[in-house]
Structure 1
Amino acid sequence: MTSQTVSIAITGAGGAGVMTAGQMLLDAAAKAGLYGLMTRSSGPQIRGGEAAAYIRLSSQPIDCPNDTFDVLFCFDWMNVDRFAAELPLRPDSVIIGDQDAVNPPEMITRSVARQLLVPLGETAKNIEGGRPNMIGLGILGELAGIPLEALQAILEKVLHRKGEVALNASLEGLRQGMQLADDLEAEIGLNLHLERLAQDKTRWSLTGNEAAGMGALRAGVRFCAAYPITPATEILEWLAPNIEKVGGTLVQAEDELASINMVIGGSFGGVPSLTATSGPGLALMTEALGLAVSAEIPLVVIDVMRGGPSTGIPTKSEQSDLNIALHGLHGDAPHLVTAPTSIADCLFTVQWSVHLAEKLQTPAIVLSDQSLGQSRNIIDKPADLAFIAERDVVSDGIVEYKRYALTDSGVSPMAIPGTRGGEYVADGLETAENARPSSAAEDHYAQLDKRQRKLLKFEYGQHWALIEGEGDIAVVTFGSVTAPVREAIQRLAADGQSVKLVALRLLAPALPDAFEAALAGVEKVLVVEQTHSKQFYRYLRSEYDLPKQTDVLAKPGPLPYRPAEIVAKLKEMI
């Protein structure tokens, strides 16, 4: 038989090669014509220790985990119980472990799933330089119906630098693992083969963090200053070599305070600029962001959210930075807040956010999260959209320059340092139109209105939200939660039940007219978010008119939403 989707979990101690095996399985599946998603999980130590790779393969595009796992493959039993809540299994699921492993944890012995033991370590010992993770890769590849040629091609691509001996050992381990899988299929009928599609499309393999970096470069960002922080560091790792290729510069600052001020300086000098961080770093940046609002200096901050407060859970996903992104700046400081709706959409949303920040001369905070940032997705090649940073600047030799002129649009042309006649003071003090500091009430009122007007009068077009489907019930959500919501809605549609999706890409400023139009004909709304205190729901209530019959599905991280729980909630409402 052939399946449309299969979900595999791989666990093991640090150094067991869990992530390597998972990544190779995903890449080989893509080479064989499949789509896929790999999310990763680790303990609170961030680096080292136990690890888990969660892979979902499919014949169709997918971008969220499934409800349960078909296979749990344990290279060893080391701390696998720490992932128990993340590993929903069914009675027909299979746990595969090493036959020489002793003392399986309680979560294994009490599991409802079938348990199979294979000579993992013994097989590896019989191969000079053999590793159990390559045996496991062969077993899983064969069970999923991935051809040997695709798996071999990935091994050769990844391991060629390690030398012929290491490569040959891995290839032999792969082949022997596939033979072990043949025995499993013959003995118990375990076959998870997927229907593979013809490779008539160019597929990309990328994480949300990589996509975000690419979106920044496509938009014209040429300066980045940042301090490493989980789970945003991969944005910097991707940008470091690639920004140089387009003539840009990346600086690793000494902390988040330095990085945001460097970015303000880079942008003030006329270069589209960006930083990336997570919740603790964003908290440190808020004062400087107020300066950027006041001085009308465009920049982008990508916040890859994680569980909080404080250090919280750095390796797990949550959407609980929403409040600080929306309201964390002191004073009345209108700015942009956006959120990508998928891993692939990280590219577009960051590119669009840079465009908006430059056009409106204001900071933009992009709310990604660990689930989007660190998960890897096999997708069709995204469109190359023409959103390039465009800043309204004055020409050399301008006379009687007013940096903060009260224009109808709210946007006043900016002078790049060195522009003759364009000298002005840029600081955090309130100003008159000519940029001279002023404490006069009329100037304060006028500049407050100006900074707000430019955000409210701008035409954001259709990109403000992802809107799909029809029906008198709608789900309103944002960010990474969009993916399981979309799959839930698709499952209901297959049963003849119509539900509309409204996933906000632009969180601030609020667009009441557009939101009202999106909910035209809707009688019931379900708000879905990954916070403990219903931050998104409370924000929607403060800015929009929601139907009387509005319900909320809110839970914090670290556990992801599964499509089935959203389906169950919608069926209650239906």
Structure 2
Amino acid sequence: MSGTPRSGAPTSGTRPDPGDSPPLTVAVTGAGGSGAVTAGLILLEAVAAAGLFGLLRRSAGPQIRGGESAALLRFGPAPVHCAGDRCDLLAALDWANHERFAEEIPLDADSLVLTDPAAGTPPAVVAAGDAALREIGFADSARERAGGRPNMVAVGAAGALAGLPLDALLDGAARTLAGKGEAVVAAARACIRAGFDLADPAERLRKPASAPAEIPQRWHINGNEAAGLGALRAGVRFVAAYPITPASEMLEWLAPRLERLGGTLLQAEDELASVNMIIGSAFGGVPALTATSGPGLSLMLEGIGLAVASETPIVVVDVMRGGPSTGIPTKSEQSDLNAALYGLHGDAPHLVLAALDIGDCAHTVAWATRLAWQLQTAAIVLSDQSLGQSRMVGEPAPVAEEPLAALQHPTAAGDAPFRRYAVTADGISPMSVPGEPGLAYTADGLEHDPTGAPSSRAADHADQLDKRRHKLLAHDYGPHWAEITEPADPDAVALTLLTFGACRGAVLEAAARLRAGGHAVRTVALRLLAPLRRRALMHALGDTRVLVVEQSHGAQLFHYLHAEQALPAHARSLARAGPLPLRPGEIVDAAAALIDAHRGGP
């Protein structure tokens, strides 16, 4: 490695002590085809081989495919669930459209930037900052080795500076590139060794880690794959969907695995067909699911209403992205909440759930599937791009292997018509599948009487509306409705951070920092959004000050909870649109300001 610090930049002696072990963030950027994402995947494999935890986010331009890209890896000795406040190390393979990533890769005086002289001059957004710049010849070093690639040299240099063992980096390359043949793996390993040797030990951000004798059993998975795993474990055996970013990976992961389990995945002609296909599957007794994103969810809403009216259990996974319309397909946002809650026309009570982290995608989709079948209704599960497409190395998430609820139907009684939609004490009516003698019924979108016969009578309409609402409100959802964390002294809580979905990771880290600063902070992360467990939520909030944290421009969660009269009048909102992730530091700042402004009482 050559070069000197920029004027005014700190020397390595002022960097954080490499013996400290907070999470590190390493970013690799480059033009399409430069292999930035592949470099990130190898580094994540190295993190796993070193026995550490990691979270790899990827970022792309507006092209969806091709164009510039970035891999952003945060890792450390404890589980990592969110982006950090800053980037410790940036390896720039080139500077093509790097300005598009500048906000996503915040650099400061303690950041180190590796730049290849062959890539030209760093853009002003980097050169004008305080980060230390170091030149390293990724391209020149790669050319000295048969089949060499600059991104592999960058993996070696960045890994060495981040304290990852060489053996872990070499193992990561072998695992990531195994399908490309021995020659590619050998060339990559040679380049990684070269990059590792080029790194200056005095510049290390952390002392070299020692790979454990036995690698812990951890998940290496993204949220889309975890959601698919949850669906399979819950018994889903039919999936119909139309490809859409960022949900398509879930379908790609499910296709071969469904087939091995005797199930089927069908690519439909559009989202309208998809939702109607899974309604047909569930009507026939086969648990079914579809996955989509915001634009697709909009097209499915009428079909979801059909599932509610006909009391047919289906699951729709919405991997949210920036909106409205086509919006920002490659970036994350939580702005589909209103559509999921209110988008169906008429009074159409249904389930809305939100996964809280990558591993929790498995648990939440499995739980949603079981609830849909227990309650004979539609369930919308909200994930988002940051969960769906980010990859973690972390502890396996618990996914209960519980059977689906058995269909509740009686033996046919003579010539009496089967009362499929009978009003019952718990609101759950008997249900049969086609072909059962004496238990045939009509299921469609028309209002009906208890037998399923179309009816426009006010009494029938009121009875069915009450029944469909009652069964959701009366159900015991147990403790899964939310995840609640308490400080050491729950009675001293000064503030509750309330959130849902992917923001939970940043909220947990912010709460930990606030507690370390002497503030007693509780967190509540909602997994079940509808029907809202209003009384349970109000009990959890107590009489503390409340800050509602979410990633939407219109503060959709905040307004929904106020509409449900579930928030105290003094509750405040921290709502920001995508595409930048909410970071722990900005939550800490907002929470501390709220605490300071209200010292002495709410």
Which category describes the TM-score, using the shorter chain as reference length? over 0.9
Matching residue within 175, 180, 184 for 1:157: 175
Is residue 2:135 matched to residue 1:117? Answer: yes
Amino acid at match of 2:386: S
Corresponding residue of 1:541: 562
Aligned to 1:444: 461
**Which residue of structure 2 lines up, in the alignment, with residue 256 of structure 1?**
271
2:431 maps to 1:414:
yes
Residue 473 (structure 1) aligned to one of 487, 495, 502: 495
**2:549, 2:182 → 1: CA distance?**
51
Q: Give the Å deviation of 1:452.
A: 0.2
* 2:386 equivalent among 371, 376, 382: 371
Determine if the alignment matches structure 1 residue 191 to structure 2 residue 214: no
- Within the candidate set 475, 487, 493, 1:458 is matched to 475
Whole-Å separation in 2 of the counterparts to 1:302 and 1:194: 41
Query: CA offsets per residue over residues 338-383 of structure 1, 9 Å max, x none?
Result: 0011111101000000000010000000010001100011111222
Q: Deviation string for 1:307-339 (max 9, x for gaps)?
A: 000000000000000001000001000000000
Q: What amino acid is aligned across from residue 239 of structure 2 in structure 1? A: C
Cα distance in 2 for residues equivalent to 1:378 and 1:214: 16
- Asked if the contact 1:185–1:191 (Cα under 8 Å) also holds between the matched residues in 2, the reply is no
CA distance in 2, matches of 1:511, 1:214: 27
Looking at structure 1, the residues matched to 413 and 101 of structure 2 have their Cα atoms a distance apart, in angstroms, of: 64
Q: Which residue of 2 aligns with 1:227?
A: 242
Structure 2 counterpart of 1:496: 518
Q: In the TM superposition, what is the alpha-carbon distance from 1:50 to its structure 2 partner?
A: 0.1
Q: 1:190-209, aligned counterparts within 5 Å?
A: 190-193=204-207, 198=212, 199=214, 201-209=216-224
Unaligned runs of 5+ in 1: none
Shift of 1:200: 6.5
Taking the aligned partners of 2:205 and 2:285, their CA distance within structure 1 comes to: 58
How far apart, CA to CA, are the structure 1 residues paired with 2:569 and 2:510? Answer: 23
Q: Aligned-pair distance for 1:5?
A: 1.5
Tell me which moved more, 164-173 or 303-312: 164-173
Structure 1's 318 and 161: CA in aligned 2 closer, same or farther, altered over 3 A?
closer
Q: 2:441 aligns with which of 406, 416, 424?
A: 424
- Once residues 387 and 560 of structure 1 are traced to their aligned partners in structure 2, the CA distance between those partners, rounded to angstroms, is 35
Aligned-partner SS, 1:91 = coil
Deviations 1:40-88 (A, max 9, x none): 1000000000000100011111110110000111000111111111111
1:148 is aligned to 166
2:519, 2:215 → 1: CA distance?
A: 33
Q: Matches of 1:497 and 1:262 in 2, distance apart?
A: 52
Distance 2:346 2:521 in 1: 40
Instruction: Report how far residue 476 of structure 1 moved.
Output: 1.0
Deviations 1:278-299 (CA, angstroms, capped at 9, x unpaired): 0000000011111110000000
- For the pair 1:5 / 2:19, whether they are aligned, the reply is no
Please give the secondary structure, in 2, of the residue aligned with 1:235: helix
**Unmatched 5+ stretches in structure 2:** 1-17, 596-602
TM-score (norm 1): 0.97
Alignment of 1:265 with 2:280, yes or no, is yes
Please give the secondary structure, in 1, of the residue aligned with 2:547: strand
Q: Distance in 1 between matches of 2:157 and 2:85?
A: 23
Whichever residue aligns with residue 546 of structure 2, its letter is: V
SS of 2:206 mapped into structure 1: coil
| Paired amino acid for 1:283 | S
Residues 386, 422 of structure 1: alpha-carbon distance in 2 compared, 3 angstrom cutoff? same
How far the C-alpha of 1:560 sits from its partner, in A, is: 0.4
Counterpart pick for 1:314 among 329, 334, 337:
329
Q: Distance in 1 between matches of 2:179 and 2:539?
A: 56
8 Å contact kept, 1:395–1:419: no
How many Å apart are 1:140 and its aligned residue? 1.4
Aligned counterpart, 2:120: 102
- Are the counterparts in 2 of residues 13 and 50 from structure 1 also a CA contact under 8 Å? yes
Using the TM superposition, give the Cα deviation of residue 152 of structure 1 relative to its aligned residue in structure 2, in angstroms.
1.8
Partner of 1:61: 79
1:124-156, Cα deviation, whole Å (9 max, x unpaired):
111111000110111111112222222222222
Distance 1:398 1:477, change over 3 A: farther
Deviation at 1:163, TM superposition (A): 2.9
TM-score (norm 2): 0.92
- Structure 2 Cα separation of the partners of residues 232 and 412 of structure 1: 33
Residue type at the aligned position of 2:201: E
Deviation at 1:544, TM superposition (A): 2.8
1:552 and 2:566 correspond: no
Find the residue that maps to 1:205 and give its secondary structure. strand
**Deviation of 1:195 (Å):** 5.4
Closer, same or farther: CA 270–560 of 1 in aligned 2, 3 Å: same
Q: Is the 8 A contact 1:6 1:194 kept in 2?
A: no
Counterpart for residue 131 of structure 1? 149
Aligned to 2:4: none
3-state SS in 1 of match to 2:118: coil
User: Which amino acid is the alignment partner of residue 351 of structure 2?
Assistant: L
CA 1:367/1:384 → structure 2, altered by over 3 Å: closer, same or farther? closer
For residues 498 and 408 of structure 1, what CA distance do their matches in structure 2 show? Answer: 43
Letter in 1 for 2:376: Q
Amino acid paired to 1:530? Q
